[in-house]
């Protein structure tokens, strides 16, 4: 059969949604390009066993829009896109599948750059790169973006702590990290080194054991997150964890984490604001990974990456200040900033 690309209908405001299939390679993937107003779309590839096509489409479109906003706020000269491969990364992923995925990306002729996300490693992306020059985040290039994501979240968390608690000293602050993947564990290490008291949760016992043994972390059951007495909540797993019910139970005064799409619905931002819980929008604080990837796309070095991490923290400080002055949520402030950027770069 070989590779087959099918354009699917998508909601207004999105440029393209493509279904990529290669039965011989076991590939079934969705690639969504939200916007190229600021440059070619860029965003990671996630592999996940979605229960339905509708779930996969909802995830990839939400993530693609988030990448537009993330790339804009980080000043990367890139638009937003995302891809998902439908399947179990632990059982279904093969070099053949990744090469077929690379051919699908290449067929989009440079309108979308791909990199790794949940379920995809730099080694996997190297297989895709044999079929396209638009696969980045390679070990021989910018490498694993996870450490840069963790560093950006940590820097922003300290900005938030200074705003909420009057100091960015994290000594003794009770911080709950939800999700101990590459980014979550790296963030937990930074928090431990900064003197924070860690509580962690994850679905994998090996990660929990490592956090307990190496970081003196207390273990929390996944369904007991919102029963903990904490100062800061750092969601670093999958999205949608912050529902209105969860916010009603949350004891933290600051939310800052690496997970994408943390708010289950837009109204949750208002619920957080009503409870005077400072929320740092995920697409702003978790941009370190795409900054690393963008450095590879643009041929830049570590100094360029660090300068853009500084820009993120400046934006977070500005959002918090304006949210107080204008009596609006940080999400409203951040969204308005991005929408202005896009409007200024979209042809009339």
User: What is d(CA 125, CA 284) in angstroms, rounded to the nearest whole number?
Assistant: 25
Tokens of 311: 């820009």
Q: Same structural domain for residues 119 and 160?
A: no
Q: What angle do CA 53, 237, 209 make, to 5 degrees?
A: 130
Query: pLDDT tens digits, the chain, 348 residues: what are they?
Result: 689 999 999 989 899 999 999 999 999 999 999 999 999 999 999 999 999 999 999 999 999 998 999 999 888 999 999 999 999 999 999 999 999 999 999 999 999 999 988 899 889 999 999 999 999 987 666 667 788 999 999 999 999 999 999 999 999 999 999 999 989 999 999 999 999 999 999 999 999 999 999 999 999 999 999 999 999 999 999 788 999 999 999 999 999 999 988 999 999 999 999 999 999 999 899 999 889 889 989 988 889 999 999 989 999 999 999 999 999 999 999 999 888 888 877 544
161-171: burial string, b at 16+ Cβ within 10 Å, e else: bebbbeebebe
Report the predicted TM-score, pTM, of the whole model to 2 decimal places.
0.84
How many structural domains is the chain composed of? Answer: 2
Specify if 192 maps to a domain: yes
**Which residue numbers are catalytic?**
82
Specify if 294 maps to a domain: no
Q: Same structural domain for residues 173 and 322?
A: yes
Specify if 139 maps to a domain: no
* Residues in CB range of 132: below 8 A, 6 or more apart: 102, 103, 105, 106
Specify if 297 maps to a domain: no
- Range of 25's domain? 4-63+79-129
Specify if 25 maps to a domain: yes
Q: Same structural domain for residues 158 and 280?
A: yes
Q: Same structural domain for residues 235 and 90?
A: no
């Amino acid at each position: 059969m070989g590779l087959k690309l099918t354009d699917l209908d998508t909601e207004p405001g999105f440029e393209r949604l493509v279904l990529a299939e290669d039965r011989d390679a076991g590939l079934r993937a969705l690639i969504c390009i939200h916007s190229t107003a600021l440059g070619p779309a860029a965003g990671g590839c996630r592999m996940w066993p979605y229960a339905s096509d509708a779930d996969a489409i909802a995830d990839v479109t939400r993530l693609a829009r988030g990448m537009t906003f993330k790339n804009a706020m980080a000043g990367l000269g890139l638009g937003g896109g995302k891809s998902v491969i439908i399947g179990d990364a632990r059982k279904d992923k093969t070099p053949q599948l990744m090469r077929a995925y690379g051919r699908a990306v290449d067929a989009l002729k440079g309108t979308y750059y791909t990199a790794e996300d949940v379920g995809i490693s730099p080694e996997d992306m190297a297989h895709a790169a044999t079929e396209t020059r638009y696969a980045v985040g390679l070990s021989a290039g910018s490498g694993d973006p996870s450490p840069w994501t963790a560093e950006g979240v940590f820097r922003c968390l300290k900005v938030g702590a200074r705003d909420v608690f009057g100091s960015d000293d994290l000594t003794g602050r009770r911080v709950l990290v939800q999700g101990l993947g590459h980014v979550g564990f790296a963030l937990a290490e930074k928090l431990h080194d900064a003197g924070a008291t860690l509580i962690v949760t994850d679905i994998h016992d090996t990660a929990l054991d490592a956090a307990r043994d190496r970081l003196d972390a207390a273990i929390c059951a996944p369904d007991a997150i919102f029963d903990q007495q904490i100062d800061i909540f750092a969601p670093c797993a999958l999205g949608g964890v912050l529902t209105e019910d969860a916010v009603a139970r949350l004891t933290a005064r600051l939310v800052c984490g690496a997970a994408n799409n943390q708010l289950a619905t837009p109204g949750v931002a208002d619920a957080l604001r009503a409870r005077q819980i400072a929320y740092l929008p995920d697409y702003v604080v978790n941009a370190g990974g795409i900054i690393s990837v963008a450095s590879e796309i643009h041929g830049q070095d570590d100094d360029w990456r660090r300068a853009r991490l500084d820009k993120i923290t400046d934006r977070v400080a500005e959002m918090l200040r304006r949210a107080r002055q204008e009596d609006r949520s940080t999400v409203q402030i951040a969204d308005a900033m991005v929408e202005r950027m896009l409007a200024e770069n979209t042809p009339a």
